[in-house]
Amino acid sequence: MLNEEVAVNTQERLGGVPPEKLTAEHRAAMDGFKKARGVDVFGPFVPLLWSPELMTRASAMGDYLRYQSALPPHLSEFMILIVSRLWSQQYEWSLHRPIALKAGVDRAIVDAIAEGRRPQQMSDEQDALYDFSMELIRNASVSDATYVRMLAKFGEKGVIDAISIAGYYTLLAMVLNTARTPPEPGAHPLPPLSR
């Protein structure tokens, strides 16, 4: 199911809350987002704003997972790309592909993920995270061997943070796919997966 491409109809749904429907709660959430991130509400937070408290809490979780988790940026971005590919999520891919490259994820690895292939020449940490992410999302669980390997590489906190990165970006992918949020303009899109 996860490897199937998103519906052909690309008309965006769940766009921004119209100005006439903005409540004090919406405005407070928007203000808090801008204060925390320095930018206006964007991407998955646009549809999430329909539930302002959820949007605020999701944003805070995302801030932790991207900037303070046990995984350094090159590994968290690597995981984000895996989740984006598994959900065929164009917006998230368009946003995080350049971030991952800048964080030091090798272009050949990024290209392999985009094509739905297991990357070659991954580091030991990437290899462990790749297996962990694929098993967790595809099987809704991980094998003992995969868990033990993750524990040895990242410790308990790292395992929990990796689970949370996979879960958080799965949530965003579900929101973005439902909302049909388009990718960033001029972005390098995810290719369709070969069957």
- The pTM (predicted TM-score) of the whole model is 0.89
Number of neighbouring beta carbons within 10 Å of residue 149: 18
Residues 6 or more apart whose Cβ sits within 8 Å of residue 74: 100, 103, 104, 105
Beta strands in the chain (DSSP E): none
Which domains are seen in the chain, by residue range?
22-66 (no CATH), 72-179 (1.20.1290.10)
Report yes or no: 92 and 176 within 8 Å, Cβ to Cβ: yes
Q: What is the pLDDT of residue 56?
A: 96
Q: Would you mind telling me the total number of residues written for the chain in this entry?
A: 195
Q: What is the pLDDT of residue 131?
A: 97
Amino acid at 42: F
| 13-28 tens-digit pLDDT | 888 899 999 999 999 9
Cα 16 from Cα 104, distance rounded (Å) = 34
Q: Is the pLDDT of residue 132 over 90?
A: yes
What's the whole-number mean pLDDT along residues 136-160?
Answer: 96
Q: Which of these ranges, 11-15, 105-109, 137-141, 154-158, has the smallest mean pLDDT?
A: 11-15
